[in-house]
Amino acid sequence: MRLVVPLQGVFRGRGGILLGSLIPCALFYFLQLYLKRQHSDESSRVPPSPPPFGVEVSSLANSLAKSDESPYDIGLDRVARDSYDRINNPNGMIDLSSSESKLCLDLIAKWVSENMKKSIVGDDDFTLSVNGIATFQPFDGLQELKMAISSFMSEVMGGMVKLDPSNMVLTSGATPATEILSFCLANQGDAFLVPTPYYPGFDKDVKWRAKVNLIPVHCQSKDNFALSITNLEKAFSQAEKDQVKVRGIVFSNPANPVGNLLTRDMLKRLVHFAEKKNIHIIADEVLARSVYESDKFVSIAEVLDSEGLNKNQVHIIYGLSKDLSLAGFRVGVIYSSNNTVVAAARKLSRFSPLSAPTQRLLISMLSDRKFIQEYFESNQKRMRQVRHELETGLSSLGIKCAKINAGFYCWADMRGLLRRTHSEEPELELWNKFIDVSKINIIPGSACHCHEPGWFGICFSALTSENIPVIIERIKKVVETCKSSF
């Protein structure tokens, strides 16, 4: 219209309006024709790009792609982009969040370098033994490895339990073991009760694909985060009122991240609770041997045996990522006396089997009693030492930690560094200071669903004594910034 009106002024008189409108339209038409030809010339040279709003993907893919990352994932991402190295990147991010043990990697490295070839392909005729590693093997694990893991687990659990390899399904890590059990024990929309603070991975392992919900059962600092049956009862009744079907209780014992242990008495009461409510127990015992006083850990398997309790409702998860520092090997175990669960889990293991060479290597490693004994002794000693050094450093800054017996974290009380302690926000502000000011990545309690803001998980099991002063110095910076702003 803007073009038409002035031209109407040029073509005055009869037909002025007509010409004044027609000419700009024609010009516009030819301009479009020109542009279109140009464009088609160009597009014949450039390969077609996918349409901007292309083909649809599943709702699972959409929700996973869009879902907000938790501070746990955001922190790891920051570390991946700017990782600390004492020589090459001394100002980089130090990761103190991943529950990984690196204290005895030297022992693992030595064993692997001395035994790898022999364990995987044997000493003799390679063409014979390659059959056992290059060909299909049962998805739920080799019988020889199940036998080796049964005796290894019995030892880890204090030597009091005898485990039957036929009740065992092997998976590529405790992560798929948790997911498989979720598929086996609950339907979509059902729920498991879970004591807090809990391992942040449970949210993914249980919810993402099996679509099982988690109902937090809050444990408190005044009880050193010990679980109480009263709180379980309350959470169970509330779920009933909300018409949510509770199918089980999932917990890690020793607890990750807090590091406390369930007592024999509490385990017994949990089994009774599960029987009364007719629900399952998933006991994640991946940290069974990562305890400072090994006699204090009691496996639920032992309680079932010694008390003659019903085993049908109890399922144990184990793995080699923690106790043997073999996170990269991806080894997980489901142990259950429920035949239906074992049969279904065996079928589901097709999606997460262990590779045959890994299994062959592990059969040798777990059978090397001398190595395992030495490894456990050194690991326990080094864990105690590094934890003690970190706790002492934190204490010098006025930061106290929960009293713990196991695990890879100092569960540090930083409530004194928050201006307000009744919401999550100040805790995340403090966490951001750790990331931005001191460049260390620790776990805010809220990422573990801790009910009380101000608790943080600081992993020590990947540290060496020489890192600790650097870390304490960096934490000190944040402490001073907080104190000066009060």
Ligand X SMILES: Cc1ncc(COP(=O)(O)O)c(C=O)c1O
Which residues make up the interface to ligand X (CB under 6 A)? Answer: 99, 173-175, 199, 201, 252, 256, 284, 286, 319, 321, 327, 332
d(CA 324, CA 366): 10
Name the residue with the smallest CB distance to ligand X.
173
Q: Which is nearer to ligand X, 146 or 277 (CB)?
A: 146
Q: Taking Cα atoms as reference points, which of 280, 285, 299 lies closest to residue 212?
A: 280
Q: What are phi and psi of 479, to 5 degrees?
A: -60, -45
d(CA 475, CA 223): 27
Least distance to ligand X from the beta carbon of 72, Å?
11
Q: Which is nearer to ligand X, 122 or 216 (CB)?
A: 216
Least distance to ligand X from the beta carbon of 251, Å?
9
Q: DSSP character for 197?
A: S
Residues 6+ apart with CB under 8 A from 29: none
Q: What are phi and psi of 389, to 5 degrees?
A: -65, -40
What is the DSSP code string of 124-166? S-HHHHTHHHHS---TT--HHHHHHHHHHHHHHTTS-----GG
Least distance to ligand X from the beta carbon of 184, Å?
17
SS3 410: strand
Least distance to ligand X from the beta carbon of 485, Å?
34
Q: Which is nearer to ligand X, 173 or 393 (CB)?
A: 173
Helix and strand counts by DSSP (H, E) for the chain: 18, 13
Least distance to ligand X from the beta carbon of 417, Å?
26
Least distance to ligand X from the beta carbon of 100, Å?
7
CA dihedral sign of residues 265, 307, 152, 163 = negative
Q: Which is nearer to ligand X, 182 or 438 (CB)?
A: 182
Q: Which is nearer to ligand X, 321 or 338 (CB)?
A: 321
Q: Which is nearer to ligand X, 319 or 445 (CB)?
A: 319
Least distance to ligand X from the beta carbon of 178, Å?
6
The pair of three-digit structure tokens given for residue 305, joined into one six-digit string: 């045996």
Q: Which is nearer to ligand X, 27 or 105 (CB)?
A: 105
